[in-house]
Structure 1
Amino acid sequence: MPAPAYALIATDLDGTLLRGDDTVSDRTRGALAAAVAAGARHIVVTGRPAPRVKPILDDLGGSGLAVCAQGAQLYDGVRDRLLWSLTIDRDLAEQALGKIEAEVGQVYAAVDQDGVEGLTLIEPGYLMPHPTLPAVRVRGRAALWERPISKVLLRHPSLSDDELATVARAAVGPLATVTMSGPGTVELQPRGVTKATGLSLAAERIGVGAADTIAFGDMPNDVPMFAWAGRGVAVANAHPELKGVADEVTSSNEEDGVAVVLDRLFR
């Protein structure tokens, strides 16, 4: 059997592999199955923490690895355990929030707790960008820091995501990495951690190099992953920043954009 066109397929979830209702289409399932049958591996690479990824992996068959929390976690879907996990220092995260608020006024924050059973905690005023994802509302910000966390999520009452991300990067400096992973989702994560760092470690674990990897995404947090992978494919609904660095733009997530490319490569 000839070697597959790419040995590793890395897919973002929200806005890329998933449709707006958080489901994977039958066509996309078939395209992934055909690629795996041809010898390729599939790894989910997402901003979601491991507990929010497990149901999707189960729906897709429960096998394989997932890079979660913007690269801070590598999750084993078969054994339901984290192979590694990095946390953001909670004191530094609190300092970073203070620096951002000194520039733009009050922001509303949430955190993803570390671990396979970690919760998403949201402070008063924070609105979940994905209303289907479970979250626990706490009384005040101090409760966000009670347990180790993988990242902090931010929203501002009037600034756009791009505006908030720009201000946050300038204000935070070396305290944390700032990224934007979806509508209403600006995030602080451990310094130097990106989807590219997580994916590169996962790929090394299974013996695949960057040149043999094709990556799919839709938001600026996918830019480092595209820079690392041999080929980066943005869906039609992607943020302009990602489209600007993509090797190819496919159909939207609602129009099976991932499957369109995989069908061409593996069927």
Structure 2
Amino acid sequence: MAAPPAYALIATDLDGTLLRGDDTVSDRSLTALARAVRAGARHLVVTGRPAPRVRPLLEDLGCAGLAVCGQGAQVYDAGADRLLWSVRLDRELAETALGKIEAEVGQVYAAVDQDGVDGLTLIEPGYLMPHPTLPAVRVDRRDDLWCEPISKVLLRHHTLSDDELAATARAAVGSLATVTMSGPGTVELQPCGVTKATGLALAADHLGIPAGRALAFGDMPNDIPMFDWAAHGVAMANAHPELKTVADEVTLSNEDDGIAVVLERLFPTD
């Protein structure tokens, strides 16, 4: 009988990690993931994108199981097209948090991801989507952002860098929300205490896989909790310096099949 794989769970971020800049996954990465799955490992997407924005990508990847979405606020069952678990960001707290941030840095531009498998991404006037391929609905005023339950708020500032905005927001909001930075132009507020690690831990527990057998890939500071939880964290060459500092290893970039390079080493044959 073949020995079980060293890693039973492979957790991959999407943007800047598994996905190339054009939102595609290379054939080499698909082949490497398929080989790992045949060896007995489970592949879980762990992403900041909400479930409705992940569904088409999961179909392309052939993933019909669980996915961790919305920075850990959602555990999505792709096969059943339903949320097994979700946490909402209180809308009054979100408004209060925005007020505290703007008291420090002046006007910010906001968007929200609505909760649910069919939730929309709403953007207020002045907000520019950092990822132009993701669909969004523009509203007339900020109050319209709160028309339905939300899972998170996305922020942009016209002059501050992402690092500066994230640091200021973290200090300003305190325990009102968790502040993360998940990509260029993507500073986010999510429910307090919710991270990719909390969502991944729930999904892994559902699958009966311990953290000690988990391998994680990422590229941004929002992946740090996931790296802390997993047995082994791999940062992409294009990763933010904060993530590289805590990673167990650094692989090639998302454009150069960095995930495949590691998986081919760990799962060399079928």
TM over 0.5: yes
Secondary structure at 2:239 match in 1:
coil
User: Which residue identity is paired with 2:69?
Assistant: C
Secondary structure at 2:182 match in 1:
strand
2:37 matched to which residue of 1? 36
**Deviation per residue, 1:218-266 (Å, 9 max, x gap):** 0000000000000000000000000000000000000010110001001
User: Which residue identity is paired with 2:62?
Assistant: G
Q: After the TM superposition, which residues 28-177 of structure 1 pair with which residues of structure 2 at under 5 Å, given as runs? A: 28-177=29-178
CA distance in 2, matches of 1:199, 1:59: 21
CA distance in 2, matches of 1:127, 1:162: 18
User: Which residue identity is paired with 1:254?
Assistant: E
CA distance in 1, matches of 2:206, 2:200: 10
CA distance in 2, matches of 1:64, 1:250: 26
CA distance in 2, matches of 1:5, 1:52: 31
1:17 matched to which residue of 2? 18
Q: Which runs of no fewer than 5 residues in structure 2 stay unpaired?
A: none
Secondary structure at 1:214 match in 2:
strand
CA distance in 2, matches of 1:233, 1:202: 20
Tell me the TM-score normalised to structure 1 length: 0.99
User: Which residue identity is paired with 1:125?
Assistant: G
CA distance in 2, matches of 1:37, 1:241: 33
Tell me the TM-score normalised to structure 2 length: 0.98
CA distance in 2, matches of 1:250, 1:63: 27
Please tell me the root mean square deviation across aligned C-alpha atoms, in Å: 0.5
Identity of aligned residues (%): 78
2:5 matched to which residue of 1? 4
**Deviation per residue, 1:117-172 (Å, 9 max, x gap):** 00000000000000000000000000000100000000000000000000000000
User: Which residue identity is paired with 1:148?
Assistant: P
Secondary structure at 1:52 match in 2:
helix
Give how far 1:63 is off.
1.5
Give how far 1:62 is off.
3.5
Q: Which runs of no fewer than 5 residues in structure 1 stay unpaired?
A: none
**Deviation per residue, 1:174-204 (Å, 9 max, x gap):** 1000000000000000000000011011100
1:192 matched to which residue of 2? 193
**Deviation per residue, 1:61-94 (Å, 9 max, x gap):** 1412100000000001111111111000000000
Q: After the TM superposition, which residues 215-226 of structure 1 pair with which residues of structure 2 at under 5 Å, given as runs? A: 215-226=216-227
User: Which residue identity is paired with 1:38?
Assistant: A
Secondary structure at 1:14 match in 2:
coil
CA distance in 2, matches of 1:62, 1:261: 20
Give how far 1:2 is off.
1.0
Residues 1:182 and 2:183 are matched in the alignment: yes
User: Which residue identity is paired with 1:7?
Assistant: A
List, as ranges, runs of 4+ consecutive aligned residues in structure 1 with deviation greater than 3 Å. none
1:203 matched to which residue of 2? 204
Number of equivalenced pairs = 267
CA distance in 2, matches of 1:180, 1:114: 20
Q: Which moved more, 1:169-178 or 1:60-69?
A: 60-69
CA distance in 2, matches of 1:62, 1:204: 18
1:213 matched to which residue of 2? 214
